[in-house]
Structure 1
Amino acid sequence: MITGPGPDKQLGLVLKEQPGHLQAWPVNSIGYSTPSLPARHTARTSHLQKFEEKLETQRLSAAKEMGRSLISSTNIPLRLSQIPKILLPGLEQKLPLTLNFTRNSIGLGKSEHGARRVSSISTIPARRLCSKAVLSEIPNEKQYPKMGAESTGPIPSNELLGAVENAAKTGAEVVMNAVNKPHNITYKGLTDLVTDTDKMSEAAILGVLKRNFPDHLILGEEGGLIGDSSSDYLWCIDPLDGTTNFAHGYPSFAVSVGVLFRGKPAAAAVVEFVGGPMCWNTRIFSASAGGGAFCNGQKILVSQTDQVEQSLLVTGFGYDHDDAWATNINLFKEFTDVSRGVRRLGAAAVDMCHVALGIVEAYWEYRLKPWDMAAGVLIVEEAGGAVTRMDGGKFCVFDRSVLVSNGLLHGKLLERIGPATEMLKNKEIDFSLWFKPENYHTDF
């Protein structure tokens, strides 16, 4: 018999075996089970449905009050629709709303007439709705300091932008000519490789810059520092960002060129390679200080996603597997738990352009170099995003960490990234400026 709470404990139900299933019938006055009438069955089913709707309403209300994404427990209770639908009318008023039924709570035994009988229904506390650790509600209106140049100096903005686009396209032509051909690979380290294409692309870019700006200072990934250190302009060149991807024919690499005026990004261009082997194409991202950001000439803006749970994030890892690398592995795990995913594409300039384009919400990484960041950070900022160090401090391209985002998520991301970075500082990990040319004048 099914036992319920209150004085009317015997509900008079048995489960009678039928081929392939069990059917629940009420027990009559002489102990035999008989089919219930359709009308009574329908009425009782209606009561159960109302009861189930009340439980669902209560669950949703609790979820809203928590203000976070709720993830169901793996201990999933039996839904009320799976319980024999012949509970007596009014039973839902007797059962507390905090009770759940599970398969294990229903005991089956044999009645004196051979039918299998439900001996009792026990109740268990309502299952707790489990939630992943979600970032707290931080106001999204906080403004982060701008790191772009206040002006482009004596060179007009449109002229500087045209020059940086021309330089990036020149390097991209070299890369495109080589992309489907065998590559001559050498190594800077155990896994840090360089190809002849990196060097040829940088040489082509240098040719453009030297012809147009012979007195400017240039910092290239492959060739280092050349030019006049007294110049207010510093060009930062990554002739092939994502060399490993390029060597494997994996579509995430680019040519990146940015120019600083007194240490701050003034104009930028990134030519991204898209597609894949035998179908490569390019798109160019560009920006100038105060002039907005563009992709193939069309204005672009960051996304408006303001919840980490609804975001797609990107990060990167350097070649040195040190404390900073291990810290970011942990951040990767943590944000994978609370977002739609964390990607690692392997080309910083591309990652930042994707934030500017609004197809991902944020990107962060330790130990990037000026040529990795000079173009991408300006494109993000001009697309409406935010740029800081990973401890939340004001950013410059000579810093050893960067966090770029759509701005709306910046504070929430810093809730975890900031303390992790402070812990590295407490371990005396070096976060001082690097690759800043000696005697180069800056406004910070």
Structure 2
Amino acid sequence: MEPNFESLCNEAISLIRQTGNFIREERANHPLTIETKGKNDFVTHIDKGSEERLVKGLKTLLPESGFIAEEATSTEKGERFNWVIDPIDGTTNFIHGLSPFAISVALMDAQEVVIGIVYEMGLDEMFFAWKGSKAYLNGKEISVSSRPTVADSLIATGFPYTQYHRMGDFMKTLDHFMRKSHGLRRLGSAATDLAYVACGRFEGFYEYNLNPWDVAAGAFIVQQAGGKNADFTGGNNYIFGKEIISANPLIFDEFLRDIKLFMEEK
């Protein structure tokens, strides 16, 4: 029997709100236990605890589902459905008490995302969409902006902490967009950056060295809000391909062309 994606999305939102409350309470009442996974790549006991709650709750909602989860609290894979989870996207921000940081949850039906939810906890903003729906922020419909050129745009990016062989090319993009656009912003949470493209706060976002749990939910919300996503070649491998550009459709071709000038693998 085909799941009702709208109902499933609403049930997942309720679980994510409860998990957000758990994160706030833990942060307020207990000292953080911080582990280092790699250079500038951290995990706290709250990341792990919140992911365990999400995995348990989402498994109850869709028993046949598996998981692609950042902290690998479940490595079970579903034959058809898999939840893609980042319990706290923006952990470094979270450690330092700085917003934004977000819970990011997507549901994939084989290779297609059918639900996307990004809960930015600092502003208590729940972005969501399901297959066939519009995109929403706290229940109100949202859409990407209508600014027509990169020169009219505010652009978001993220600073990579591996793959430094691409850093020279990436620095050229920073110089380019500083000169060409309204400005660049680096918030420290890719899921939030994508949600902000979806609601028109940013016109475009690009970053490399990302994982599926960073982008699956946010990119889907952008899509349902009328935006476009691609990898740096213009292809569709942006969920698992470790690089993404996302933009409103009016600037998309120009934005992609600018990024391809510098960031295509030589």
Identity among equivalent positions (%) equals: 33
Q: Which residue of 1 aligns with 2:147?
A: 305
Cα RMSD of the aligned pairs, angstroms, is: 1.6
Q: Which residue of 2 aligns with 1:270?
A: 118
| Residues 80-132 of structure 1, C-alpha deviations (whole Å, 9 max, x = no match) | xxxxxxxxxxxxxxxxxxxxxxxxxxxxxxxxxxxxxxxxxxxxxxxxxxxxx
Q: Which residue of 1 aligns with 2:160?
A: 318
Q: Which residue of 2 aligns with 1:185?
A: 34
Does 2:63 correspond to 1:221? no
Structure 1 residue 311, shift from structure 2 partner: 0.9
Q: Is the radius of gyration larger for structure 1 or structure 2?
A: 1
Q: Which residue of 1 aligns with 2:263?
A: 421
Answer with 260-269 or 169-178: which moved more: 169-178
Does 2:218 correspond to 1:370? no
- For residues 23-422 of structure 1, the aligned pairs below 5 Å read 154-181=2-29, 182-223=31-72, 226-229=75-78, 231-274=79-122, 281-422=123-264
Structure 1 residue 394, shift from structure 2 partner: 2.2
Find the residue that maps to 1:284 and give its secondary structure: strand
Find the residue that maps to 1:179 and give its secondary structure: helix
Given that residues 55 and 74 in structure 2 are in contact (C-alpha distance below 8 angstroms), is that contact kept between their aligned partners in structure 1? no
**Aligned residue identity for 1:226:** T
Structure 1 residue 169, shift from structure 2 partner: 2.0
**Aligned residue identity for 2:134:** G
Structure with more helix by fraction: 2
Cα distance in structure 2, aligned partners of 1:252 and 1:326: 27
Structure 1 residue 207, shift from structure 2 partner: 1.3
Structure 1 residue 285, shift from structure 2 partner: 0.5
Note closer, same or farther for the CA distance 1:199–1:383 as it changes in structure 2 (3 Å cut).
Answer: same
Structure 1 residue 228, shift from structure 2 partner: 4.0
| Residues 314-337 of structure 1, C-alpha deviations (whole Å, 9 max, x = no match) | 001221151223322221111111
Find the residue that maps to 2:99 and give its secondary structure: coil
Structure 1 residue 395, shift from structure 2 partner: 3.7
Structure 1 residue 168, shift from structure 2 partner: 2.3
Find the residue that maps to 1:187 and give its secondary structure: strand
**Aligned residue identity for 1:354:** Y
Which runs of at least 4 in structure 1 moved beyond 3 Å after TM superposition?
A: 179-182
Given that residues 164 and 259 in structure 1 are in contact (C-alpha distance below 8 angstroms), is that contact kept between their aligned partners in structure 2? no
Cα distance in structure 2, aligned partners of 1:410 and 1:308: 9
Structure 1 residue 172, shift from structure 2 partner: 1.3
Structure 1 residue 396, shift from structure 2 partner: 4.6
For this pair of structures, how many residues does the alignment match? 265
Structure 1 residue 225, shift from structure 2 partner: 5.1
Q: Which residue of 2 aligns with 1:85?
A: none
Given that residues 106 and 216 in structure 2 are in contact (C-alpha distance below 8 angstroms), is that contact kept between their aligned partners in structure 1? yes
Given that residues 367 and 400 in structure 1 are in contact (C-alpha distance below 8 angstroms), is that contact kept between their aligned partners in structure 2? yes
Structure 1 residue 290, shift from structure 2 partner: 1.9
Larger RCO of the pair (alpha carbons < 8 Å, separation 6+): 2
Given that residues 241 and 253 in structure 1 are in contact (C-alpha distance below 8 angstroms), is that contact kept between their aligned partners in structure 2? yes
**Aligned residue identity for 1:196:** H
Given that residues 163 and 209 in structure 2 are in contact (C-alpha distance below 8 angstroms), is that contact kept between their aligned partners in structure 1? no
- Structure 2 unaligned regions, length at least 5: none
Cα distance in structure 1, aligned partners of 2:53 and 2:76: 16
**Aligned residue identity for 2:183:** G
| Residues 209-265 of structure 1, C-alpha deviations (whole Å, 9 max, x = no match) | 122222211111001652244x21111000000000001111110011000111111
Given that residues 119 and 127 in structure 2 are in contact (C-alpha distance below 8 angstroms), is that contact kept between their aligned partners in structure 1? yes
- Structure 1 unaligned regions, length at least 5: 1-152, 275-280, 427-444
Cα distance in structure 2, aligned partners of 1:187 and 1:321: 18
**Aligned residue identity for 2:26:** A
Cα distance in structure 2, aligned partners of 1:196 and 1:183: 7
**Aligned residue identity for 1:417:** I
Given that residues 82 and 109 in structure 2 are in contact (C-alpha distance below 8 angstroms), is that contact kept between their aligned partners in structure 1? yes
